[in-house]
Structure 1
């Protein structure tokens, strides 16, 4: 029988971890693991077209593409939406959460990216409600009339479980980058060692992007990854496809 969980209390301590840190770490590792059933493996975020078009041909060009996506594209924007959704739930600001969810759902450049982020968001919310329910989660979800996109979903669930914002954001960005690299490993293709080198190379970029997102207002939203947006649009009519985006 599945059991629901309540908001983690400070007394929930693991050996070597203070307070609720053990529960928070366990949940973040679970929710943002490739094994968590959001279907992330089905999407490439436009990478498939970029590889076919010759924009990405090896580990070096792939690293440049991902750096731009993180710092100046959807990585940063999704991080901002996660932070603002989290803070709205934490403060009990239902109207603000509704507005953030609505803006995030409208902020994607193509139909396939909309499918990608809304499908993953819905799957994340449904699984969290079924296996990781907690006080306040249903109320927060009910505030969002628009589709709950993936970063907003993670922000809502993280806040409802009282997991600190900074590690929630870092774990989310790590999961996003890991999925991009996984898609690239199949498309370019790349070996496992090259994939790990890319993940290591992007560590400071993830950290810097998270810091910017934590300090950003909604007025700071914006991207400059036009080629990636075009890749997402053109993937819709690509003749042969392994991925849904």
Structure 2
């Protein structure tokens, strides 16, 4: 069952899955505009910070908590995770990013990849759903092992950020691939931490990313929604 549960991850975390991830830069558009991310080295450092002490780390903790709650059928715990995941977003655009992707993911999964855990959660939780929570519930419902889900989700997070920087211009495709390869140790470390974490471990220090998402709300010329 666990091995079968890995296959849907390849589809769900593909850029082709209809969650609209391509439309969001996670505040990187402002960072590029202001020169804080201007080349491969600065882009790599920015993304590494998100995995080590920012939103990537927190999303992994939330995903793990949702996966465990859904696996155990703990409705109260799952509701608490879903509520916290929305409350943690530091700006309007980051909430939009998390909720729009989560809602879209739930619609697509319920239609094409139904399972009891997803249907039960959708019936009981009527608010927006943050993306890591939606992914955690679906992965649990399809029997995907938590460790593999965390690594795959974090790698997809990195890939989307790199794609945003490439499209914004400071780096090319080859540098983008080098950054993704360099992020693998950070992905594994964040996934390992999250696998044994609790909600008490939520927290971060990637303040420039949070500020960038706030500044992006009023950026004059924009390609991305966040």
**Distance in 1, Cα, partners of 2:78 & 2:26:** 25
2:117–2:140 CA contact under 8 A, matched in 1 = no
Deviation of the 1:82 alpha carbon:
0.3
1:52-71 Cα distance to aligned partner (Å, 9 max, x none): 11101100011000000111
Q: Say yes or no: does 1:28 pair with 2:9.
A: yes
Gaps of 5+ in 2: none
Q: Which runs of 5+ in 1 are unaligned?
A: 1-9, 11-19
In structure 1, what is the Cα distance between the partners aligned to 2:147 and 2:30? 33
Which residue does 1:67 correspond to in 2? Answer: 48
Answer yes or no: is the 8 Å Cα contact 2:117–2:138 preserved in 1: no
Question: Given the alignment of the two structures, is residue 146 of structure 1 paired with residue 119 of structure 2, yes or no?
Answer: no
Separation in 2 of the partners of 1:171 and 1:198? Answer: 16
**Structure 1 counterpart of 2:141:** 160
Number of residues of Structure 1 aligned to a counterpart in Structure 2: 226
Equivalent residue for 1:56? 37
* CA shift for structure 1 position 217: 1.4
Conserved? CA contact 1:105–1:146, under 8 Å:
no
Structure 1 residue 187: Cα displacement: 1.1
- The 4+ residue runs of structure 1 with deviation greater than 3 A are none
Instruction: Provide the rounded CA distance (Å) in 1 between the counterparts of 2:155 and 2:28.
Output: 17
| Aligned partner of 1:106 among 84, 87, 101 | 87
From 62, 67, 83, the equivalent of 2:64 is 83
Aligned CA RMSD, in angstroms, stands at 1.0
* TM-score, length of structure 2 as denominator length: 0.97
Q: Which has the higher helix share?
A: 2
CA contact (8 A) 1:98 1:145 kept: no
Correspondence 1:219 to 2:197:
no
- Show the counterpart of 1:43: 24
**Greater RCO, 1 or 2 (C-alpha within 8 Å, sep 6+):** 2
Aligned to 1:200: 181
Q: Check whether the contact 1:102–1:144 (CA below 8 A) recurs between aligned residues.
A: no
